[in-house]
Amino acid sequence: MFKTTKGLVLREVRYKEADRILTVLTQDEGKITAKARGALRKSSRTAAATQQLTWAEMTLFGNRGKWTVNEASVLEGFQGLREDIASFALGSYFAECLEAFAVEDQPDPELLQLGLNSLYAVSQRLYPAEKVKAAFELRLAVLSGYSPALDACAFCGKEQPEDPILGLDTGGVCCRACRKAEFGNAARLDAESLEAMRYIVSAPAKRLFSFRLGEESGKLLAMAAEKYLQSQAGRSFGTLSYYKQF
């Protein structure tokens, strides 16, 4: 069965002489694994479009749940990521996160859009990388069903918690003074970074990065979003350690 769809290449692994095994987040089939035969040969017509962090139109051949890439052409190569090692490392981290949270064979347009918009924003340097990273992490958690409850202090009910902290396991927020043992691990916030988190949770996809934040609050947001996603994923990400070297 042939199928034409669009897909974002999250990962490519060399296989045998010149093949690539790809993990692709596709529009119609969700996350799939596909083999691209001969993609590493110089003469290959699929070479460019089967590289990691490429958005491509692909014609796939499916047989008993196994996919092969027959044809592929680049729709967006995110060139800006390839010209800067730190940007590419951040893009690879996004890809690893998407792979971790995406469900096999289940299309998720919002997840795909988040991935594409975030890669585009970093590639084109539309916003500071740390801002895109934090918004990506928090929104990915939300889309994956781990939305934090940020409306009010979990204990006293104040809508503007004093010296707010975010529960990394519980996904709640509370005043520092209200904190109880069952709140578990937490990350420090301030009023401004809490407001930014509230924005990111519910902003329209196209305006996800359009929030303002001072430098100190930005750091708190970055730390909280990163820790929160890791806590919800229940794992760490190798590509994140790599990105941090830059």
> Could you say which of 150, 175, 222, 225 contacts Zn ion (CB under 5 A)?
175
C-alpha distances (whole Å) from 117 to each of 156, 165, 207 are 38, 29, 10
Give yes or no for residue 205 binding Zn ion (CB under 5 A).
no
Give yes or no for residue 165 binding Zn ion (CB under 5 A).
no
CB of 176 to Zn ion, least distance (A): 9
Cβ atoms within 10 Å of 205's Cβ, excluding its own: 12
> Could you say which of 36, 122, 134, 153 contacts Zn ion (CB under 5 A)?
153
CB of 173 to Zn ion, least distance (A): 9
Give yes or no for residue 111 binding Zn ion (CB under 5 A).
no
SS3 110: helix
Nearer to Zn ion among residue 88 and residue 183 (C-beta): 183
SS3 129: helix
Distance CA 171, CA 181 (A): 14
Distance CA 203, CA 210 (A): 9
Which one, of 196, 32, 204, 22, lies nearest residue 110 by Cα? 204
Specify whether the CB–CB gap between 91 and 53 falls below 8 A.
yes
Nearer to Zn ion among residue 97 and residue 187 (C-beta): 187
> Could you say which of 134, 178, 186, 224 contacts Zn ion (CB under 5 A)?
178
Nearer to Zn ion among residue 13 and residue 156 (C-beta): 156
The pair of structure tokens assigned to 235 is 């794992």
CB of 167 to Zn ion, least distance (A): 12
Size, binding site for Zn ion by CB under 5 A: 6
CB of 174 to Zn ion, least distance (A): 5
> Rule CB under 5 A: which residues touch Zn ion?
153, 155-156, 158, 175, 178
